[in-house]
């Protein structure tokens, strides 16, 4: 199956700093990528849909100025958590979908963010 990488796998930062997470589709071009947040033993919560070359579509309640998403190429989307606070600590997962696939998502391994 298709492979999606995510970097870094874990990051610890101080409150008030910004953190960038990269999501790459390694062997296919992804016109659409998704960013999720997951709390322990809970389901995936969709934060935003990232479309190559256009602005991301954010879900209701997600602060677009805090969670900046850029989908600059067909293989790379980035999520930047700006001015991070302890409540932003979570597990962030990206996924990518092939343009002509059966709507299946290929998931990255996730990034554990801890804000001190």
Partner 1 sequence: AQTVTQSQPEMSVQEAETVTLSCTYDTSESDYYLFWYKQPPSRQMILVIRQEAYKQQNATENRFSVNFQKAAKSFSLKISDSQLGDAAMYFCAYTPVGGKSTFGDGTTLTVKP
Shortest Å, Cβ 60 to partner 1? 11
Nearer to partner 1, 28 or 91 (CB): 91
- What are residue 25's DSSP bridge partners? 4
Structure tokens at 70: 């850029």
Shortest Å, Cβ 18 to partner 1? 24
89: Cβ contacts below 8 Å, ≥ 6 apart: 113, 114, 115
Residues near partner 1 (CB under 8 A) are 1, 34, 38, 41-44, 46, 49, 91, 93, 95, 102-107, 109-110
Shortest Å, Cβ 115 to partner 1? 19
Structure tokens at 69: 């998403």
């Amino acid at each position: 199956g298709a492979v999606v990488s995510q970097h870094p796998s874990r990051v610890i930062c101080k409150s008030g700093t910004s953190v960038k997470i990269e999501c790459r589709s390694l062997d296919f071009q992804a016109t659409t990528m998704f960013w999720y947040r997951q709390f322990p033993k809970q389901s995936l919560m969709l934060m935003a849909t990232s479309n190559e070359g256009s602005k991301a579509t954010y879900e209701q309640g997600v602060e677009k100025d805090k969670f900046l998403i850029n989908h600059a190429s067909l293989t790379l989307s980035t999520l930047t958590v700006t001015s991070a606070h302890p409540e932003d600590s979570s597990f962030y997962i990206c996924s990518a979908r092939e343009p002509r696939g059966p709507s299946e998502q290929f998931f990255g391994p996730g990034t554990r963010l801890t804000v001190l």
